[in-house]
Chains A and B, each alone.
Chain A
Amino acid sequence: MALLDTPRPAALRRKRRREAVRTLAFLSPWLIGFGLFFAYPLVSTAYFSFMKYDGFTAPTFNGLKNWTYLFEHYPFFWQGLRNTLWLVAVMVTLRVAFGLGVGVLITKVKTGAGFFRTAFYLPYLAPPVAATMAFAFLLNPGTGPVNHLLGELGLPQPGWFTDPDWSKPALTLLAMWGIGDLMVIFMAALLDVPKEQYEAAELDGAGPWQRFRFVTLPNITPIVLFAVVTGVIQTMQYYTQAIVAGKVASGVIGGSGQQFEPGYPHGSTWTLPQMVYNLGFQRFDTGTACAAALVLFAISMAFTALLLRRGSGLVED
């Protein structure tokens, strides 16, 4: 047996080659996908960011002009970046905090836990277009039930999606409605915290807040970080809700063709991904659109690098 288990060099080489072929075969769908749908378009985006191209006539070299235009002359770049960063800062923070709160709450519920879990989770499943449509109705200043109820209570009735000061908070509210994914992740993490640590803390006279602060939080920090970083990356892509809310609230929607004021109202919901779409597909300025796409890429990859650090647990064995 021992003899058979030690292959001769030639056989070993053959085995190695066979294994390499096997690995390549299993990976092949993704290797092709990676090349065709990631590497190629990425290089192409970089290429077009230095070209003048309207999608019809042949592209010509444009040097750094797209870039200087984007940063210095394009009137909507900084506004889009500011809005995106606002959403990243506020939306992610509130979503994670609220998701954690609801996660803690659901682990404490003793009666009707199944009902509450499903109720808290359900909104996460609502398709973004449908959910945005629903909120555009709920929050519409004319006949919406929310302002109706606020009025009954004698509270101020904001213009929500029609008021530039309230449109981003309204989107944030919509995002907080769908925290089902975070709730489940936090719930699982909270149930994993060793019981003995709570008992020890209690014996030491720690109150509920102190138990949360010194036992719960340190144990779930990796999950919180994971939620923050993936939240940031998702929010960098924030597109559908912003565009649908803007269209519904401005009253200008419909299929192709009809144009609406991007970022309605007053550019307050204008984000980087919309900029790429608007520049590339409505103004046919492919070069500048690609430059904006690369800005989006750079920021997203900076945060992805955080996820990929050794020890983050994401790409370990």
Chain B
Amino acid sequence: MTLNPALPLPAGVRTAAARTARRRAALQWVAVHSLAIAAALFFLLPFVFVLLTSVMSDRQALTSELWPTSWHWENYAQVWRTPGFLTWWRNSLLYAGLGTLLTVVSSLPVAYALAKFRFRGRRLALMAVVSMMMLPPQVTVIPMYLFWAKQLHLTGSLWPLLVPMAFGDAFSIFLLRQFLLTVPNEYLEAARIDGCGDVRTLLRVVLPMARPAIAAVALFQFFYCWNDYFGPQIYASENPGAWTLSYGLESFKGAHHTDWNLTMAATLLVMAPVIILFFFAQKAFIEGVTLTGVKG
């Protein structure tokens, strides 16, 4: 039983023991919230410093001053006008948007089969999914690169990144399956008795129920594509017209060698979409993270 110091105790319980308990609870409140504020500073101050530097004048950005003497919001416009920046932005949206769509469409039926169909080798298939999920991308990258470069001549574009997503993503399959396990079989039975085929059951019964999990998977995949650096570095680096923001940002730093203000403005512009997306879909996101881990 915890005592909330803000609430008055009912008369008659104000014994010495209750007073000590109350004082302890108050002390704990102070300790916990002091720690929380310290932690919040650790997590938020980097954003604040980055923002403050991003609006400094070129000259001030070369000093170690923390607070801008004048506010140069036009730095953002300048970043936006940098040659290539818009192309990278468009490529990132394309990669993340289309990649997410393809992943969800191709992963859902697989996850459904793994969660609800009984067949020989199901456990094995599941182990294969988890192994694929845990595979470092560098392990298979050399033959994959040779395949895309020498057989299909498609490097320097986003195709080598997008096409694999039409064939199911292990992490998305795993996460969707974990969720679909919780869908009661009675619903599927009922749909079958009503004459629904498997595809119709999936689309009409399972899909609406799985909406939170699908939202979480879509968000994760969007973030994955948006953040991906290794993929574009391997497959798109030879053609700046195919770069994404995550990859282009680095070369932006190269071109604006000492301009920390512009680099930090560009950095915030790359962070902004995912953070905005998070505020819109916070609940789905947190549910998704929980789903990955809590099955002990």
A144–B64 contact, CB under 8 A? yes
A37 interface neighbour in B119, B127, B167, Cβ under 8 Å:
B167
A315–B66 contact, CB under 8 A? no
Known A127-B270, A192-B294, A293-B142: A253·B254 in contact at CB below 8 Å:
yes
Return the chain A residue nearest B119 by Cβ.
Answer: A23
Q: A41–B33 Cα gap in the complex (Å)?
A: 52
Q: CB of A82 within 8 A of chain B? A: no
Q: CB of B215 within 8 A of chain A? A: no
Q: CB of A167 within 8 A of chain B? A: no
Q: A184–B33 Cα gap in the complex (Å)?
A: 19
Q: CB of A227 within 8 A of chain B? A: yes
Q: CB of B62 within 8 A of chain A? A: yes
Q: A301–B130 Cα gap in the complex (Å)?
A: 10
Among A40-57, those with CB < 8 Å from B are 40-42, 44-45, 48, 55
B250–A129 contact, CB under 8 A? yes
B62–A143 contact, CB under 8 A? yes
B257–A109 contact, CB under 8 A? no
Q: Distance (Å) between the CB of B237 and the closest chain A CB?
A: 5
Residues from chain B with a CB closer than 8 A to the CB of A247 are: 250
Residues from chain B with a CB closer than 8 A to the CB of A261 are: none
Q: CB of A90 within 8 A of chain B? A: no
Known A19-B119, A29-B167: A109·B64 in contact at CB below 8 Å:
no
B289–A297 contact, CB under 8 A? no
Contact mask A182-203 → B, CB, 8 Å, 1/0?
0011001100100000010000
Q: CB of B278 within 8 A of chain A? A: yes
B142–A130 contact, CB under 8 A? no
A223–B43 contact, CB under 8 A? no
With most chain B CB atoms within 10 A of its CB, the pick from A29, A184, A258 is A29
Q: CB of B284 within 8 A of chain A? A: no
B35–A105 contact, CB under 8 A? yes
Q: CB of B187 within 8 A of chain A? A: no
Chain B: number of interface residues, binned into ranges: 35 or more
Q: CB of B240 within 8 A of chain A? A: yes
B293–A227 contact, CB under 8 A? yes
B125–A108 contact, CB under 8 A? no
Q: CB of B196 within 8 A of chain A? A: no
Q: CB of B144 within 8 A of chain A? A: yes
Residues from chain B with a CB closer than 8 A to the CB of A233 are: 134
Residues from chain A with a CB closer than 8 A to the CB of B61 are: 143
Q: CB of B50 within 8 A of chain A? A: yes
A23 interface neighbour in B107, B113, B139, B166, Cβ under 8 Å:
B113
Chain A: number of interface residues, binned into ranges: 35 or more
Residues from chain A with a CB closer than 8 A to the CB of B66 are: 145, 148
A223–B270 contact, CB under 8 A? no
Residues from chain B with a CB closer than 8 A to the CB of A148 are: 64, 66
With most chain A CB atoms within 10 A of its CB, the pick from B32, B134, B289 is B134
A304–B289 contact, CB under 8 A? no
Which of B8-16, B75-83, B260-268 lies at the binding interface?
A: B260-268
Residues from chain B with a CB closer than 8 A to the CB of A192 are: 294
Among A257-307, those with CB < 8 Å from B are 258, 272-273, 276-277, 280-281, 286, 289-290, 293-294, 296-297, 300-301, 303-304, 307
A185–B36 contact, CB under 8 A? no
B64–A143 contact, CB under 8 A? yes
Which of A7-15, A64-72, A118-126, A158-166 lies at the binding interface?
A: A118-126
Q: A296–B140 Cα gap in the complex (Å)?
A: 11
Q: CB of A215 within 8 A of chain B? A: no
Q: CB of A256 within 8 A of chain B? A: yes
Q: B interface, by DSSP: helix, strand, loop or mixed?
A: helix
Residues from chain B with a CB closer than 8 A to the CB of A185 are: 289-290, 292-294
Among B108-143, those with CB < 8 Å from A are 109-110, 112-114, 117, 119, 123, 125-132, 134-143
Among B137-157, those with CB < 8 Å from A are 137-147
Q: A277–B234 Cα gap in the complex (Å)?
A: 9
Q: A3–B63 Cα gap in the complex (Å)?
A: 88
Q: CB of B89 within 8 A of chain A? A: no
Q: A41–B138 Cα gap in the complex (Å)?
A: 11
A289–B142 contact, CB under 8 A? yes
Contact mask B198-241 → A, CB, 8 Å, 1/0?
10000000000000000000000001001101100110011010
With most chain B CB atoms within 10 A of its CB, the pick from A106, A109, A111, A137 is A137
Return the chain B residue nearest A244 by Cβ.
Answer: B250
Known A29-B109, A33-B164, A177-B43: A300·B290 in contact at CB below 8 Å:
no
A109–B142 contact, CB under 8 A? no
Return the chain A residue nearest B50 by Cβ.
Answer: A134
Known A127-B246, A300-B134, A308-B127: A48·B142 in contact at CB below 8 Å:
yes
Return the chain B residue nearest A107 by Cβ.
Answer: B32
Among B35-82, those with CB < 8 Å from A are 35-36, 39-40, 42-44, 46-47, 49-50, 53, 61-64, 66
Q: Distance (Å) between the CB of A89 and the closest chain B CB?
A: 18
Closest 9 CB pairs of A and B: A33-B167, A222-B296, A254-B254, A41-B140, A44-B143, A185-B293, A30-B168, A26-B113, A41-B143
22 A-B pairs within 8 Å (CB atoms) are namely A23-B119, A26-B198, A29-B109, A29-B166, A111-B33, A115-B40, A125-B271, A127-B271, A129-B247, A131-B271, A133-B263, A134-B46, A134-B264, A134-B267, A145-B66, A185-B293, A237-B136, A286-B142, A293-B139, A304-B130, A307-B134, A314-B295
